[in-house]
Structure 1
Amino acid sequence: MKNLKYLYVFLMTAAIMMVGCQDDDITIGEIKAPTNLEVVSEIVGVDTENPFGDGSGVVKFTAKANNALSYKFVTPGSQQISQTGIASIPFTSANSGIFTYEVAVVAYGTGGISTTTTIKVDVFVDYSPPAELLELLYGDGSKTWRIKSEQAGHFGLGPVGGNIPVEWYGAGPEEKAGAGMYDDRYVFNKDGTFTHLTNGTVFGRRILVDELGGPGGGTVQEDDVFNYPYDDYTQNWQISAPGGSETITLSGIGFMGYYTGGSHQYRIFNRSVPNEMILTTVDGNGDFSWWFIITSEEPKVDDEFSTIYKDLIWEDTFDVDGAPDPAKWTYDLGTGDNGWGNSESQTYTKSPDNVKIEDGILKITAKAENGGYTSSRIKTDGIFAFTYGRVEVRAKLPSGGGTWPAIWMLGQNYTTVSWPASGEIDIMEHVGNDQNTIHSTLHYPGNSGGNGVGKQTTVPTASTEFHNYSVEWTPEFIKFLVDDKVFHTFPNSADTPFNADFFLILNVAMGGNFGGAIDPGFTASTLEIDYVKVYQ
């Protein structure tokens, strides 16, 4: 209890300092510290024969205070945030018996000012997770879990306390592709730690997801936040069985699938299917029970991609040697403002030294010359644009530190609404400082610059062989492919700018925010393109 005692003193000191030093902030109204903080506890399973509970170790706490906006419950090794002041906390012990636990309860008011108190509870703990459940969770230590996105009802909601999975709404197979949930992985480590591999973004409930304390951003669609930027993290997990229901509790902000806040407790509704569990949890608003199907089996890879766009509407196969066809392409020239907005180092030209068609191949060459760098950027701006379809580009990429080739599209209305409101679809980007890593990214308001929504894949022969880089663009989704294999899916909707005409751009930049440091020994390297085709 020594560490908890020091934590309590620290919290009390911090609260006093905040109350004594912070003036009223007129932007949020009068700052008030919560007062009259009261906490009551209810041990699960208490009756005349079991005055200290049923052995599950679960205690329900209810906190109330004047002027409180939210509450936090702190125990050794875990903490829970609650908007309602209600939290269920499972206590565990290596041995059976009656134990005294101390909980620090923090009530937060406007401006983050807090008031703290503590409460002690005597709880009977007599629960050990069954061996088969532990085997299911971590096995030999190599198990990794994910949302079973290919199964109907893998995510959904119903009434609080309901026992019918996804009673009110259930997601169809892959319905939330690209939202930041399906590429997450969860590991229940044998030592009691829980690792959440986010792949850079997560999916969550609007407002509640801010509890994560991330950098902000993501895409808000009604009550959901897609692709909220958030790094991998580690918390703790433990098993309890309040009322006989096996329950996984994650400490701190630990969660699975979709951030709902609340108690971070996931009741195991069913685990009869091998390598699979159906879980349910109540959100922090107390509005819904959320349901998830998780599995420790990786999805089967579908090597066959079937496009819905098969009518060729535009192409350039670069059959005539010389300069690019002026009926199809125009140029961006010069240095641009601030290196084309990315601190790039090249000057774009239309010199045959930088761009030409030779032997049926378009060649865009970045060169070191006269103490700087030259290259080329060609586009169909004002000549050809389209809405929805499939773009396929067969290309071999340049190499060398600082090279930054791109095959991309920009909203045709960029001159009137400006970027990023126009939207940007990066079909392929590659940087020589990260050889063979292919990036496909979307940029739009709230997701511009380094906050673009993207994924990466590895192509070991990106600069030595030709590969097909393509995008399938529909009103419902945008899928990015390399050699006809999908590696990134974005859920398109009427709320994005990706529902209007876009034009094509091909270029090789040097250095800049993404290209990085240029190799001082760099001389020249070429982006080679066999063809560009557009289907609808």
Structure 2
Amino acid sequence: MKKVMKKYGSFLLICLAFMACQEDEPGLSTLLTPANLSITTDIASDQSGNVSVTTTADNALNIHVIFKENNDPVVVKPGEPATFQYTQSGQYSQIITVVAYGTGGTASSKTITIDLDVRLLIDPAILQKLAGDGTKRWVWNKEELGHWGADAAFNDQNDGFPAPPNSMNPCLYDDVLVFSYDENDSYGYQLETGVNDETLVGWADVQYFFPNATPQQFVDECHDISTANSTAVKSIDTDTSFLVVEEDGELYLEVENSTLSFWSGASRYKIIELTDDFLHVRGDHQPILETIEIAYYHQFRPEDYDPNAGFESEFNTLFWSEEFSVAGTPDPAVWNIDTGVLGVAGTPTGNNEAQVYTNDPNNIKVENDVLKITAIADGSGGYTSGRINSLGNFEFQYGRVEIRAKLPTGGGTWPALWMLGGDLLSNPWPGAGEIDIMEHVGNNQDNIIAALHDPINFGATPRTVTTTVTGVSDDFHLYSMEWTASGITFLVDNVEFGTIANDGTRPFDKDFFFILNVAMGGNLGGTIDPAFTQSTMEVDYIRVYK
């Protein structure tokens, strides 16, 4: 088991079991060493690993309970219970060290041994996503904006610094996170560091642990963390255990005495998003040389992740992309804020829809590198929402389109990622043609529709294909199409779910432009839930390949 180093702020390690230790301090007339330590334990019988230790002692001011070697102590008053949860499953013995502190730094310590029977269970669906078959390996999602980031602590949305693609030091990118489990519900975690056993260390901690280093402000450095040097240290394991816990409806990933690659000092991470092929977490930590806590954002992909797995595209050169990297109004050089100028199919009242499209930032804006279109009940029985299009700014013919999005929810919502022919203004719908890359209705949650409308099949009789995708309103998914002269294939998360033929009798052999919107009600959206208040479609990016 490889060890790396972390600060340890107490001198209690010099107090050996069953021995008192004492510091001489001038000016103290009476030094009273704690005596008669009495320890009682309460071990939960439900295999949860929860243990409570209560200590009393004469002359004690406070009690430090060290539940595991290298762990920070739990500090309590005499007679006050100290609690801890052991996360390693199995039947085993555990040594607990208790240190009672008195006046002038005097201290007495005692150790006890407890027997544990622990079996912690992670929800099978979560475990499958995180650990796969029991050997899942994750690497940094280095190709994406924001795969690493930093901001003020406890903020799920990174409003601070999102790292551009491939911009971090290579010593970070060769780290691998391995999550495993066995038939006894033991959950193992291993951090594999790469070349020279180095990983990236936050700049504010570098000089503390590596006194000979001279880090520049805000410049993180690569170090072999097994060589960290400090006058007061504790070890961190790179081969340890993990657990996923739920608190107040939120999920947290804990890697005991360890870290998720970038060494910030955090070992507990809030799970912002978890799918089979994407892990996004936030760890909050106060660097040694800083006075405030910082949120560190990490994004990972499985080591064997292939965005085109299962489908071989003939279009592999990036032709155009919209990453929504500038906050505020969507880029006016690309996007028209559409309040109803596109004719029959594009008017706010088309398809008997209930919403009015606005340019209000509450309805449409770019924030945290994501386009957000929000449908809102106005309180008087009406609804507002947002819609943008790229007519006259960006149009193209044939290629692969990838749109990563998280969909709104609620009865009556009708989000769409779609396209219309570039000659729409002179060739009204359905003559211009319509390609629906993704449509969804909240009254049929998790059902995804793709469709083509043209003069032969349109309105209530389009050519459609559908699929079911779990959690479209909980997680981001990749909605794609492959458009050629002979057909248009639709995919979700790179899994094909249908192809619709294309030929010279259909208007799908010319330039088309994008439209993104959230409608309410209407012919497809259906009945609107009277309790609906608002819901948002988030679009991470759009990419076109040729």
**TM-score interval for Structure 1 and Structure 2 normalised by the shorter chain:** 0.3 to 0.5
Normalised by the length of structure 1, the TM-score is 0.43
